[in-house]
Amino acid sequence: MRSSPRSIGLRSLFALIVVSVFGLPVPSFSSAYNGHPKLIVVIVIDQFRGDYLERYRDQFGDAGFRLLLDHGAYFPNCNYNYANTRTAPGHSTLFTGAYSNGHGIAANEWWDPKKKKMVTSVEDDDTKFVGLPDAKAGASPHNLMADTLGDELKLATQGKARVFGVSLKDRGAIIPAGFAGDAAYWIDAKSGVWITSSYYRNDLPRWV
């Protein structure tokens, strides 16, 4: 049973940028804060401290981070009140608004007493990897105990919203995509090819 996400602060040990696209150029700060965006992009950068955005502001190009800082909605004082900044619990907190005791992801991997081995935060024997010649046990968000931002968008739009997760790592794509996501894509660490999970779809798009 998943819990409802609760609103909490988020500390920028990860840089979180929510981009609301209204059609560029964006005319003012007020439109970024109060508008109704057609597209939301969340970018999470490991090891990128939140203060780097201002510290290196003068070195950013006009079409990159500076565009977001100058014309987007910018929240520099976000924080979350715990020290476990690993990828899976961090992404889970960012996308659910809950702490580990609410979303259920306490680490990237942990000991499974039933399987008597270490398992990853997104490992799921009931799914298969899609895009590998010898498909093996796949991955899904089944360990999450709270809905994600994408899940809430799906509910709010009666399924019309399109939600995708893309990352170098499985957990970095699957957790943001959530339960109702349309797809999650990541790079297989051994082969270097882009893959997904049968939890989302049974084939890879040609563009992948």
The set of catalytic residues is 87
CA distances for 200 relative to 147, 152, 155, angstroms: 16, 17, 17
Tally of CB atoms within 10 A around 172: 21
The 10 Å Cβ neighbour count of residue 160 is 8
**Contact of 110 with 171, CB cutoff 8 Å:** no
Whole-angstrom CA distances from 183 to 14, 133, 149 are: 23, 20, 15
Dist CA 77 CA 169 (whole Å): 28
CB atoms inside a 10 Å sphere around CB 7 = 6
Read off the DSSP letter of residue 57.
Answer: G
Give the integer Cα–Cα distance in Å for 115 and 171: 20
